[in-house]
Amino acid sequence: MDALTRKQHEIIDFLLQNQASFTRPPSLDQLCAALGLKSRGSLHRIIQDLVGAGLIEAMDRKHRGVRLTEQAKKIVQPSNNSSTLRYVGIIAAGKPIEAIENTEFMTIPDEIKTENPCYVLKVKGDSMIEEGIYDGDWVIIEQRCHARNGEIVVALVDKSEATLKFIEQYPHETLLIPANSSMQAMHYQPAQIDIQGVLVGQMRSYRSMV
């Protein structure tokens, strides 16, 4: 599993978390829609690689339906707890930093996640403190490539750095806005920003606090 790309992890996570709700194995078109992907061709290549790795099996040559193999279920699913989510790494609540991807898992309450694919990030920085999001908190992110203005998002800046901020989107610019009155909003061209998900939950540990 360490060799899998982020997108391959997302596909496997989606299939794992939603397998009980499928009436039949999802098609590539359904996966594209669920994961917010625009290119069916790029998804086809990712699926081919997962098929070659023995993690996914296609129901026919045209991939009208795909499902996880038993091998994949044993590798990906650390327990039978449906509230286990993948812990991806660190997200900046301050100056954007690179999101570090991991292959660890965390168990979280059902009440702070959604039925859609989600993942966990650990917050670094203090730019969201006025929203009650502090350095060291864990945030639960619903995997999405779109958001409404005013939502707190994981934004990938220039395809290299990730940050947690409020988002405001306009035709001519996108604003990433901190919840800290001592900091200014960051202004970008819309093409510079890729939304990686939307905040849906939060956790905190007090064990390390004085």
Average pLDDT over residues 107-134: 90
Tell me the backbone φ, ψ of residue 60, rounded to 5 degrees.
-155, 175
Residue 74, pLDDT score: 61
Tell me the backbone φ, ψ of residue 156, rounded to 5 degrees.
-95, 120
Q: Return the residue matching tokens 């409020």.
A: 166
Question: What is this structure's pTM?
Answer: 0.62
pLDDT at 125 over 60: yes
Q: Which of 32-36, 133-137, 147-151 has the lowest mean pLDDT?
A: 32-36
pLDDT at 18 over 90: no
pLDDT at 113 over 50: yes
Chain segment 33-62, per-residue pLDDT in tens: 777 676 777 788 888 888 888 888 876 655
User: Long-range contacts of range 47-56, CB-CB < 8 Å, 24 or more positions apart?
Assistant: 47/11, 49/8, 50/8, 50/11, 50/12, 55/12, 56/11, 56/12, 56/15
177: its two tokens: 């806005």
Alpha-carbon distance values, 121 to 1, 173, 192 (Å): 19, 26, 22
Looking from the CA of 87 toward its CB, the CA atoms found within 13 Å total 13
Average pLDDT over residues 85-112: 73
Task: Clarify whether 127 is annotated catalytic.
Answer: yes
Distance separating alpha carbons of residues 58 and 42, to the nearest angstrom: 16
Residue 61, pLDDT score: 58
Catalytic residue among 21, 127, 159, 160: 127
Residue 85, pLDDT score: 78
Bridge-based pairing state of the strands 84-92 and 118-124: parallel
- Banded pLDDT at 3 (limits 50, 70, 90): low
Average pLDDT over residues 11-29: 72
Query: Domains (ranges, CATH) in the chain?
Result: 6-76 (1.10.10.10), 84-203 (2.10.109.10)
pLDDT at 178 over 90: yes
Average pLDDT over residues 170-193: 96
CB atoms within 10 A of CB 51: 15
Catalytic residue among 38, 62, 159, 165: 165
- Residue with the bigger pLDDT between 162 and 209: it is 162
